[in-house]
Amino acid sequence: MKKIKKMRPNIKVIYTGGTIGMVKSKDGHYVPASLDRLLEYVPNLAEIGANLSFESFDKPLDSTFVGPNEWLEIAGVIRNQLQQFDGFVVLHGTDTMAYTSSALSFLLKGALKPIVITGSQIPICEEGSDGVENFYNALKIASDGRVKEVALWFHKSLYKGACVTKVDTKSMNGFSSPNHPVLAKLSSGIEYENTDEKLEKSAFFLDKINNSIFVLNFTPGMDLNLVAQWLESNTFKGIILSALGLGNLPIKITDLIYKQLFKMKLPILVISDCLKGGVEIGKYEAGHALSALNAISGGKMTKEAAVTKLMIAVANFNNEKDVRDYLIKNQVGEY
Q: Can you tell me the distance from the alpha carbon of 177 to that of 199, in angstroms, rounded to the nearest whole number?
A: 18
- 124 vs 184, which CB is nearer to ligand ASP? 124
Which is catalytic among the residues 19, 94, 100, 308? Answer: 19
User: CA-CA distances (angstroms) from residue 29 to 23, 32, 187, 251?
Assistant: 8, 10, 35, 43
- 94 vs 129, which CB is nearer to ligand ASP? 94
The minimum distance between CB 105 and ligand ASP, in angstroms, equals 19
Stretch that binds ligand ASP, among 74-82, 88-96, 104-112, 243-251 (CB under 6 A): 88-96
The minimum distance between CB 23 and ligand ASP, in angstroms, equals 13
If binding is defined by CB under 6 A, does position 25 make contact with ligand ASP?
no
Stretch that binds ligand ASP, among 91-99, 129-137, 188-196, 324-332 (CB under 6 A): 91-99
Among 12, 15, 18, 99, binds ligand ASP (CB under 6 A): 18
Residues 163-192 that bind ligand ASP (CB under 6 A): none
CA triple 221-226-227, angle to 5 deg: 85
If binding is defined by CB under 6 A, does position 64 make contact with ligand ASP?
yes
Rounded to 10 deg, the angle between the 224-232 and 256-264 helix axes is 30
Residue 175 near residue 154 (C-beta atoms within 8 A):
yes
Number of residues that bind ligand ASP (CB under 6 A): 10
- The residue type of 197 is E
Among 9, 114, 119, 238, binds ligand ASP (CB under 6 A): 119
If binding is defined by CB under 6 A, does position 121 make contact with ligand ASP?
yes
If binding is defined by CB under 6 A, does position 133 make contact with ligand ASP?
no
Of 217, 264, 268, nearest to 238 by C-alpha is 268
If binding is defined by CB under 6 A, does position 130 make contact with ligand ASP?
no
In the DSSP assignment, the letter for residue 65 is G
- 63 vs 248, which CB is nearer to ligand ASP? 63
Reduced to 3 states, what is the DSSP secondary structure of residue 53?
strand
For the chain, the 3-state helix, strand and coil shares in percent, each to the nearest 5, are 30, 25, 45
Residue 245 phi, psi dihedral angles, 5° rounding: 50, -125
| Backbone φ/ψ region at 245: left (φ over 0), alpha (ψ -120 to 50), beta | left
**Active-site residue flag, 19:** yes
Among 19, 102, 134, 137, binds ligand ASP (CB under 6 A): 19
Among 9, 93, 114, 287, binds ligand ASP (CB under 6 A): 93
Beta strands in 101-231 (DSSP E): 108-109, 115-118, 150-154, 157-160, 165-166, 175-176, 184-186, 190-192, 204-205, 213-217
List of residues 6+ apart from 312 with CB closer than 8 A:
103, 106, 107, 206, 208, 209
The minimum distance between CB 320 and ligand ASP, in angstroms, equals 35
- 174 vs 238, which CB is nearer to ligand ASP? 174
- 32 vs 299, which CB is nearer to ligand ASP? 32
- 63 vs 272, which CB is nearer to ligand ASP? 63
Among 12, 33, 63, 239, binds ligand ASP (CB under 6 A): 63
Burial 64-89 (b: 16+ CB within 10 A, else e): eebbbebbbebbeebeeebeebbbbb
Of 148, 157, 274, nearest to 199 by C-alpha is 148
If binding is defined by CB under 6 A, does position 102 make contact with ligand ASP?
no
Among 9, 12, 38, 62, binds ligand ASP (CB under 6 A): 62
Positions marked active-site: 19
Residues in touch with ligand ASP (CB under 6 A) = 18-19, 62-64, 93-95, 119, 121
